[in-house]
Amino acid sequence: MLDLARELVKERRSDALEYIYGNVPDTLSQLIRTAFTADGGKIIVADFSAIEARVIAWLAGERWRQEAFRDGKDIYCASASQMFGVPVEKHGVNGELRQKGKVAELALGYQGWTGAMIRMGAIENGLKEEELPGIVLAWREASPNIVGMWSEFNTAALYAVRTGMEKLTHWCTFRLETDPLFGRQFLTVQLPSGRKLFYPEPKLKPNDRNEEAVHYMSLENHQWVERSLYGGLITENITQAIARDCLQEAIDRIRKLDVKIVAHVHDEVICEYHGDDPDQMYETMVSEMSCPIDWAPGLILNADGFTADYYKKD
């Protein structure tokens, strides 16, 4: 259907677009990606599969999750099965529970509560608001290592700011560091790759729950505002930063292949290829992205994607 829509746009057939697709502006917005072509070659896209879920499972040492990824299982089914204690198969036995597992996986890894599930589309996906607290509790009970990691990251941040001493936990090192040029203090988190996260001007004060917390300055809408750190936010920052470092590793490997990297978006690498066998090159790219990473022993990666005449959403 994309091919037809593109041809109609090229011919300026707005009447046909409206007749076939209904909403012309919406159709045009979906075609923006397809404006990127390979100038006679092929577009090859390879992206990580469930990269944040894989990273957080590795960081926390949540074994059943790592085993699910190792065995190629559907993580939403595996999560629902762990949460409700029954087998769950997509389009199979207890398949109706998969949606609960999916929304929980997408919403709850960073200490979210029912509001996070609602923002992730729980109600639109057929879940009832009154059942959401039970789903949150079931997810947390099924993922005790992740829940524990929230607390351990928060404790490490508090310790570093309070004592000025470093704290290593879950492959990450927390430190209180001072910029030697301007004398500005930062809470830093050194990631497994060696790269650091920086939280400017950290200090300890009560949060809105009257609990001691690290507060730091965050640049938002061109203004510095004070924000409060908590375990889930630290986990989110670290997980997404490690996912970014995994992508950089993939980019470094793909650069050595006979393709031209033209862009990367979130967890995917977009390449232009003018060789004879795009399908083989796609398989090679996926293989490179799925290889182990030296600084993340035990992290199980996988990738997927497509080849096409133009860029599109998979």
Question: Average pLDDT in the 105-131 region?
Answer: 92
Q: Which of 31-35, 121-125, 157-161 reaches the highest mean pLDDT?
A: 157-161
Q: Are residues 131 and 104 in the same domain?
A: yes
End position of a domain, from candidates 229, 256, 287: 229
Let me know if residue 21 belongs to a domain. yes
Q: Is the pLDDT of residue 26 over 80?
A: yes
Let me know if residue 70 belongs to a domain. yes
Q: Are residues 79 and 127 in the same domain?
A: yes
Question: Average pLDDT in the 113-137 region?
Answer: 91
Q: Are residues 168 and 219 in the same domain?
A: yes
Let me know if residue 199 belongs to a domain. yes
| pLDDT on residue 99 | 87
Q: Is the pLDDT of residue 36 over 80?
A: yes
| pLDDT on residue 1 | 74
CA distance 175 to 52: 24
Does residue 195 contact residue 186 with C-beta atoms inside 8 Å?
Answer: no
Q: Are residues 67 and 24 in the same domain?
A: no
| pLDDT on residue 196 | 98
What do you get for the CA distance between the two ends of the chain, in Å? Answer: 13
Domain that holds residue 101: 63-142
| pLDDT on residue 145 | 98
3-class secondary-structure state, position 207: coil
Q: Are residues 225 and 162 in the same domain?
A: yes
pLDDT band with cut points at 50, 70 and 90 for residue 292:
very high
Q: Is the pLDDT of residue 45 over 80?
A: yes
Q: 125-129, 163-167, 279-283 — which is least confidently predicted?
A: 125-129
The predicted-structure confidence for 136-176, as pLDDT tens digits, reads as follows 999 999 999 999 999 999 999 999 999 999 999 999 999 99
Mean pLDDT of the chain: 94
| pLDDT on residue 150 | 98
Encoded tokens for 247: 């992508």
Q: What are the Cα distances from residue 30, in Å, to 24, 25, 35, 141, 173?
A: 10, 9, 10, 40, 43
Task: Mention every residue, 6+ apart, whose C-beta is less than 8 A from residue 227.
Answer: 215, 216, 217, 218
Let me know if residue 297 belongs to a domain. no
pLDDT band with cut points at 50, 70 and 90 for residue 314:
confident
End position of a domain, from candidates 214, 229, 244: 229
Let me know if residue 208 belongs to a domain. yes
Q: Are residues 169 and 127 in the same domain?
A: no
CA atoms within 13 A on the CB side of 191: 20
Does residue 232 contact residue 147 with C-beta atoms inside 8 Å?
Answer: no
Let me know if residue 138 belongs to a domain. yes
Q: How many domains does the chain have?
A: 3
3-class secondary-structure state, position 48: strand
